[in-house]
A and B are shown apart, each in its own frame.
Chain A
């Protein structure tokens, strides 16, 4: 059997896989195939600095072109892997290329969930996942007079920050009763509601879109379930993502709304690993619970252990999940996963735009959301890394640095 490794998907997880394989001393051929034609890049700025114009497309590159060359990573861009035969040791792309592959890493990521209502195919109805999408949104923002953003998650809120700051009339429609409901405590949801309303964003909670109308094929109006019609020449949809699992399914791997992997990143076939947005994985800190995570940190950390697994090592993904979101001058940093919390402590006054929400389950600290409070975020992340906790009674006073509550 040859030693050739194929990595499918050239983004955060795929690039880290290739780099980690080389860092771990693997010398056999590595082919990294990405369907996008751009040099692999970071996505987070697409709804932040890239949209405002502060960051250029070139500045998003994960590695230089020379890096792949020096590391002898065969980077194939603009082609999609369409079939993988691990037994036969080869794979094919949509361009007809044959690639030798005795072991495979799937880093296929996720795609935006589509909103299917009458009119959702009109011109001017956009999504925000990749660089081409972001360039289209950027161009549309320059000429738009009124923007409707559908979805009050992080991407929707970040885009609303940019749109409102550029002076365009901005409406945000969210089906749930509060913003970022899925992942945050009510106190954080109401903080963001007031923040965005204060910036002039018209936020419509508990509303959903029934249909859209257009003129000459371009969107003009978004209709809500209460009968209201909102004018729009740009509609941006951010209602979540779906993992790309088709290849894994075709390969007969176990898939449950995500490619099922263990703590080492291995799929149900020991020759195949997977990492990043496309996976369903054991919670890094509570491995009896399976989770899906959509973050750069997760893609990178999972990729590192998956690379090790491909080389026969047994590294385990047990680092603390974390995430951030920039909404204008407000920086949110999240350490841990708050899902399943039964109590929260608010540290500081949301009115000052600097505070943290600490999440507890059965008296133990499991996560924190920090708004413009990076020291709190770092202390909680380090506490979780040490598998320690902080007493709920000790954390409320912002005058006591959380760092002082860390085990020594």
Chain B
């Protein structure tokens, strides 16, 4: 099992565990965490699963602009929340053992 910490804008955090190969979005939504909306269920169509990866994890998750497919990058440009270097769409962040303990920060709003 892999553990993920979700930190809300007000600083409260919630820890969830999931199997490897589940995405950061899926782990949140399936357990009823509401800060990630994920209207499209992970189809890379809605941009309502935006998170900021904690700086210390960025090397391991990679940055959106480095992905082969630039859809994620373009979608992140379109949201109303600030686009940061650490911005990712959490449906594209698939959990592996290496990401055990990952911390992500939730934006104020989704899209």
Contact = CB atoms under 8 A, between A and B. Distances in A.
Interface string B25-41: 01001111010000111
Contact of A375 (B32, B75, B111): B75
Contacts of A373: 74
Contacts of B75: 374-375, 378
Interface residues of A, number: 33
Interface stretch (B4-12, B43-51, B56-64, B95-103): B43-51
Contacts of A19: 32
A126 to B, nearest CB: 23
B86 interface: no
B39 A379 contact: no
A44 B74 CA distance: 22
B78 A48 contact: no
Nearest to B80: A382
B30 A64 contact: yes
A63 B111 contact: no
B82 interface: no
Contacts of B29: 62-63
Interface residues of B, number: 23
B40 A61 contact: no
B71 A374 contact: yes
Contact of B45 (A61, A63, A70, A333): A333
Contact of A377 (B39, B41, B78): B78
A67 B41 contact: no
A64 B45 CA distance: 23
Interface of B: 22, 26, 29-32, 34, 39-41, 43-47, 71, 74-75, 77-80, 111
10 contacts: A63-B30, A67-B30, A324-B43, A326-B43, A375-B75, A377-B78, A378-B111, A379-B78, A382-B111, A403-B78
The 10 A-B pairs of least Cβ separation, nearest first, read A378-B78, A324-B45, A375-B78, A374-B75, A42-B41, A64-B30, A374-B74, A375-B74, A63-B30, A67-B32
